[in-house]
Amino acid sequence: MRIVHMSDLHVARFSRSPRAYCDKRLFGMANYVLRRARYVHPEYWDRALERIARLRPELVLCTGDATCVGSPEEHAAAMALLEPLRQQYGEKFLFLPGNHDAYVTAPDCRAALAQTFRHLNSGRWRLDDLPLEWHVGGLTFLLLDAARPMPCLLSSGVVPPKALTWLDDRVTKPRAEGECRVLVCHFPLRGADGRPLARRRRMEGAEVLLEHLHQDRVDVVLSGHVHEPFARWRADGRGEVCAGSLMLSGCFSVLDWMPGTCRFRQFFVDVSASGDPTVPILDGSLAPAS
């Protein structure tokens, strides 16, 4: 089974609401205009769609930050951007929110996020249904939402205590025969160097999730949030993959899974240049094949 995993599209649109310039969105848009905009490459998207079509995945996952500041205008644009994948893959396309999608508490923004989540997941779930368990073949996806509106200058997240209890209940149960468990969340458990993220960017609850990975209760963790892609694999084939930012780094991740095993072959695809590089672009990013 082939899985394409992308993240952090950061679609930006100016809001028509005056209220957008009275909360955290003002700082977010200022940061985008003055700094981030020069590094965003919308042309990567068409290249990515072409490469994804040639890779012929069974599943496509987007782990959040589809928007820049979570305004309704951005959610509408992000839905339109991702719609070709949703149309093609239907219930085999998954979207989870990131911290930029849940940027503020404004009711219209929260409603837009809820609509985006429900639409891109083809009406299967509501945002309030998270955390969720999603079964595809022998893969069990454990879907967590740690994205919460945070004060200015913070891009951190929180796994609610109820979600941690929910996860503990599921991963401590005996596995079904051949079952492989994939934890999906916007925030990585560790940075590329294996150390905790800076406090303003980390996820509260990450240590608990990391322990599940260390205890082999979870086989792989898929995330975004950090814009440069990275992958860390153990000798037994378990590990963590951060897809990076498709629109900034020009990368997305591909994982090939052999049913009945808990091992993956993984590589990054780089769409930042012309050509067709469908081989690993980061040293050590290829998990051992089963």
Per-domain residue ranges for the chain?
2-270
- Distance in angstroms (rounded) separating the CA atoms of residues 110 and 131: 17
The stretch 248-271 carries a mean pLDDT of 93
Helices (H), 18-106: 24-34, 43-55, 72-89
Q: Where are the alpha helices (DSSP H) in the chain?
A: 24-34, 43-55, 72-89, 107-120, 161-171, 206-214, 246-249
End-to-end CA distance of the chain: 13
Strand partners, 2: 256
Cα–Cα distance between 71 and 83 in angstroms, integer?
Answer: 18
What does the alpha-carbon distance between residue 62 and residue 88 come to, in Å, rounded to a whole number? 14
pLDDT digits (tens, 9 = 90+) for 200-245: 999 999 999 999 999 999 999 999 999 999 999 988 889 999 999 9
Calculate the alpha carbon distances from 96 to 117, 151, 172, 198 in Å.
7, 21, 24, 22
- What is the model's pLDDT at position 274? 66
Whether residue 71 contacts residue 104, with contact meaning beta carbons closer than 8 Å, is answered with no
> What is the value of pTM for the model shown?
0.93
At residue 67, the 3 state secondary structure works out as: strand
Angle 84-286-249 from CA coordinates, rounded to 5°: 50
Q: How far apart are CA 122 and CA 284, in angstroms?
A: 36
Q: How far is CA 55 from CA 49, 51, 64, 182, in A?
A: 10, 6, 22, 21
Taking only the tens place, the pLDDT of each residue in 145-201 is 999 999 999 999 999 999 999 999 999 999 999 999 999 999 999 999 999 999 999
Q: Are strands 239-242 and 220-223 parallel, antiparallel or unpaired?
A: parallel
Q: DSSP state, 198? A: P
d(C-alpha 181, C-alpha 18), whole Å:
45
Residue 242 one-letter amino acid? C
The class (CATH top level) of 2-270 is alpha beta
Contacts of 213 (CB under 8 A, 6+ apart): 183, 189, 221, 238, 240
User: Using one digit for the tens of pLDDT, what is the confidence trace for 272-285?
Assistant: 986 555 444 443 33
